[in-house]
Amino acid sequence: MVRRMVIIMACLVLLAPLGLAANGQDEAADDGPRKLVINSNLSDPAPKAAFEDLVNRFREEYPDIEVTLNSFDHEAYKTAIRNFLASNPPDVALWFAGNRMKFFVDQGLIMDISDLWEEAGFNDSMASSRPTLTVDGKQYGVPWGYYQWGMFYRTDIFEEYGIDVPETWDEFMEAGDTLVENGITPVTIGTKFLWTAAGWFDYLNLRINGYDYHMDLTAGDASYLDPELDRVFEVWEDMIDRGFFLENHATYSWQEAQAPFINGNAAMYLIGNFITPDLESAGVIDNVGFFQFPQINPEVGMYEDAPMEAYLVPAGAENVEEAKLFLEFASRADVLADFAYEVGNIPPNKNSRPPEDRFTLAGFEMLNQADGLAQFYDRDTDPEMASVGMEGFQEFMVNPDRLPEIRARLDEERKNIFQ
């Protein structure tokens, strides 16, 4: 009996490791492959393809990670992100730096990734971008690119009518008058999605009142009834009255507004550098130039809009380790430069190679010489104020006679939002 018990116990001892091994295999099988889910707002063909290339490079370097890339329509994403961050968060979300990021940070929907900034050396390589991704001393995103805004213009049209690149506002208005006289729309614009109108408000305000006033206004500390804004709307209305803007612009998206520019029916477009891939695809890039938004008030510095794009890790992300691994990979100097330049952006990693594209290089040089950089109206102010404000700017461009009511409405909203 004793001998039988000894044999049984010996068998159990021998079989135990096999059982543990089998159990471990079952647990590993239950865990499945490593995963990563990315939500992207890059929907236009060129940037979408460029980001897909970046993700595929990550897949090649990390074949053990199963990556799911969800691409949303750019405009629809602005609404979708409010829902998926709270109910079905991905592991990485593309979004905007500055106040647009802070809005979600304040709701506890974005993860503090200060540890990644330290471990990956971003505090050195991305030092200049850190303030726009910092809230209360903590970093909540990693930048992947920023870009200039300015005037893209048809060099062939300027040459045909003897127009020099304007540096002052008087020269700009003279150029516009010449174009109107010759049946050319001076400025194309599509305000269907509102933010293009905000671009005009931003630049007129920055050139007339400067950076500090821009920041006071977007922070809710200045009023939309301030006399400082009288001049902004006077200059803007003068352009409208002279027929400088594309007719029926409220019915066009910013992409649709490219058509008159590409076809040679409009000569200028105030827009971000992200437009260049579309112009290249249309075959007109060789007839396009770029110039800085002209000076209006010589007593005010030359401030520029330079919106920054970023990767965020939602607070509810399930695969945090993989998300941080992707952010570190995507921020590598070579990877970041390849992607940023492909979509007309400037890489924020100081170790990335310098730009070769003439438009990106022009933006790089202009921004380096600027007296200061703003993000953009709808990124510097509260999202609710941005929505109301941009609606007002579009309404003004269509019906400038409503300006008193528009400004009063905007200021009432400012008081309610920033109280």
Residue among 245, 191, 103 at smallest CA distance from 391: 191
Global model pTM greater than 0.85: no
Architecture in CATH for domain 149-305+376-418:
3-Layer(aba) Sandwich (3.40)
CATH entry 3.40.50.300 includes domain 34-147+307-350: no
Q: What is the DSSP string of 192-243?
A: TTSHHHHHHHHHHHHHHH-HHHHHHHHTT-S-TT-THHHHHHHHHHHHHHTT
The model's confidence at residue 31, banded by pLDDT at 50, 70 and 90, is low
Is 50 exceeded by the pLDDT of residue 87?
yes
Phi then psi for residue 183, to 5 deg, are 75, 15
Is 70 exceeded by the pLDDT of residue 7?
no
Q: Report how far Cα 12 is from the mean position of its chain's Cα atoms.
A: 63
In the chain, domain spans: 34-147+307-350, 149-305+376-418
pLDDT score at 1: 40
Over the stretch 162-210, which tens digit does the pLDDT of each residue have? 999 999 999 999 999 999 999 999 999 999 999 999 999 999 999 999 9
Over the stretch 280-324, which tens digit does the pLDDT of each residue have? 999 999 999 999 999 999 999 999 999 999 999 999 999 999 999
Beta strands 149-154; 266-272: pairing state: antiparallel
pLDDT score at 410: 98
pLDDT score at 131: 86
Is 90 exceeded by the pLDDT of residue 19?
no
Could you check whether 34-147+307-350 and 149-305+376-418 share the same CATH topology?
yes
pLDDT score at 348: 93
Is 70 exceeded by the pLDDT of residue 382?
yes
pLDDT score at 18: 39
- Asked if residues 326 and 58 have their Cβ atoms less than 8 Å apart, the reply is yes
Residue among 140, 129, 76, 101 at smallest CA distance from 323: 140
The model's confidence at residue 4, banded by pLDDT at 50, 70 and 90, is very low
**Higher pLDDT among residues 37 and 383, named by residue:** 37
Burial class (CB in 10 A: 0-12, 13-18, 19+), 368: exposed
The model's confidence at residue 33, banded by pLDDT at 50, 70 and 90, is confident
CB atoms within 10 A of CB 370: 18
Over the stretch 340-349, which tens digit does the pLDDT of each residue have? 999 999 999 9
Rounded CA-CA distance 201/205 in Å is 6
SS3 of residue 71 by DSSP: strand
Average per-residue pLDDT for the chain: 92
pLDDT score at 58: 98
- Asked if residues 344 and 273 have their Cβ atoms less than 8 Å apart, the reply is yes
Is 50 exceeded by the pLDDT of residue 17?
no
Is 80 exceeded by the pLDDT of residue 37?
yes
